[in-house]
């Protein structure tokens, strides 16, 4: 019997990260940039934390910053208030971002309230 080890939110986050990492790498290559942003995931008890880091000429540059928090149960997305937790107020749902990945930019500006 197949045992599922990922929640729905974890699966959707992994799918979004794959799309964005591919898109941002292609954009950098097409624009002649040697450095580009990539995302990685860290699953916690309550939140899935997305980290961003820079890659230059296929080598990872030391350092990373929190890109976004995703609530594990609901899939709600939050802007980070710091490394440990999100800011108040839901900004998006992970399903909405996966349906429209062009909303996401490398800098996280889409998470700010307008």
% of the chain at pLDDT higher than 90: 90
Mean pLDDT within 5-11: 88
pLDDT tens digits, 22-43: 999 999 999 999 999 999 999 9
Decide: 10 and 48 in contact? Cβ < 8 Å: yes
Residue-number span of the structural domain to which 16 is assigned? 8-111
pLDDT, mean over the chain: 93
Which residue's structure tokens are 């995703």? 70
Residue 1 within any structural domain of the chain: no
| Whether residue 98 has pLDDT greater than 60 | yes
Count of domains forming the chain: 1
With a pLDDT cut of 70, the percent of the chain lying above it is 96
Q: What is the pLDDT of residue 5?
A: 78
Handedness of CA 32, 59, 19, 71 (dihedral sign): negative
Q: What is the DSSP secondary-structure string of 66-110?
A: EEEEEETTT-EEE-BSSSS-BPSS--EEHHHHHH-GGG--TT-GG
Report if residue 57 sits inside a domain.
Answer: yes
Q: What is the model's pLDDT at position 57?
A: 85
Query: pTM, whole model, 2 decimals?
Result: 0.90
Residue length, the chain?
A: 114
């Amino acid at each position: 019997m197949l045992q599922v080890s990922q929640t729905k939110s974890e699966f959707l986050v992994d799918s979004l990260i794959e799309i964005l990492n591919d898109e941002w790498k292609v954009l950098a290559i097409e624009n002649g940039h040697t450095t580009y942003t990539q995302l990685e995931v860290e699953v916690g008890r309550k939140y899935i934390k997305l980290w961003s880091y820079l890659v230059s000429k296929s080598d990872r540059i030391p350092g990373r910053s929190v890109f976004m928090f995703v609530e594990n149960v609901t899939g709600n997305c939050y802007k980070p208030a710091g490394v440990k937790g999100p800011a108040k107020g839901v900004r998006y749902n992970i399903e909405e971002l996966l349906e429209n990945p062009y909303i996401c930019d490398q800098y996280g500006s889409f998470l700010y309230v307008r």
